[in-house]
């Protein structure tokens, strides 16, 4: 609830209608990153065992990134083996926002994005091409 009322423009999350187990989140790319100014929609699906089990979080907005696959799945340790019940929606969204600018190149889901990450001009070109090719959001499954 605090996140919904915080007025923080770079992050937001709200339940989808009456379903408290599925939320829509948004993050904005961090300043000084190749994602600066871009906004991404995410789907957060909470298990009934939350907060003792991590939610499933996927990008709805297509995202060209070393740790995001073509289906929007995210490779982030706090959503898997490093999950802790102390994490909340804000923590998750901040971690994903941070991952955008600081990927884990040792565990890529998108090998092409990982291979060109350090070549900023080539990466930006690929990011812009990906954005224009995949301009519409995918439906959460």
Q: Using CA atoms, how far apart are residues 49 and 11, in angstroms rounded to an integer?
A: 24
Alpha carbon of 57 to those of 26, 44, 60, 80, 124: distances in Å? 11, 5, 9, 11, 25
- Selecting among 75, 92, 94, 100, the annotated active-site residue is 75
Q: How many whole angstroms from its chain centre is CA 61?
A: 9
Residues 25 and 42 sit within 8 Å (Cβ to Cβ): yes
Q: How many whole angstroms from its chain centre is CA 133?
A: 19
Active site (annotated) includes residue 75: yes
Positions marked catalytic: 75
């Amino acid at each position: 609830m605090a996140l919904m009322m915080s007025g923080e423009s770079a992050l937001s999350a709200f339940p989808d209608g009456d379903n408290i187990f599925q939320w829509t989140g948004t993050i904005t790319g961090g300043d000084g990153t190749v994602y600066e100014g871009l906004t991404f929609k995410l789907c957060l699906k909470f298990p009934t065992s939350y907060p003792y089990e991590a939610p499933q979080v996927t990008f709805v907005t297509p995202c060209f990134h070393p740790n995001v696959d073509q289906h929007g799945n995210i490779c982030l340790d706090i959503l898997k083996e490093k999950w802790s019940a102390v994490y909340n929606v804000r923590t998750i969204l901040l971690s994903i926002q941070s991952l955008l600018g600081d990927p884990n190149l040792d565990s890529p889901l998108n090998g092409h994005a990982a291979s060109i990450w350090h070549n900023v001009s080539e990466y930006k070109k690929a990011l812009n091409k990906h954005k224009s090719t995949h301009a519409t959001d995918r439906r959460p499954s």
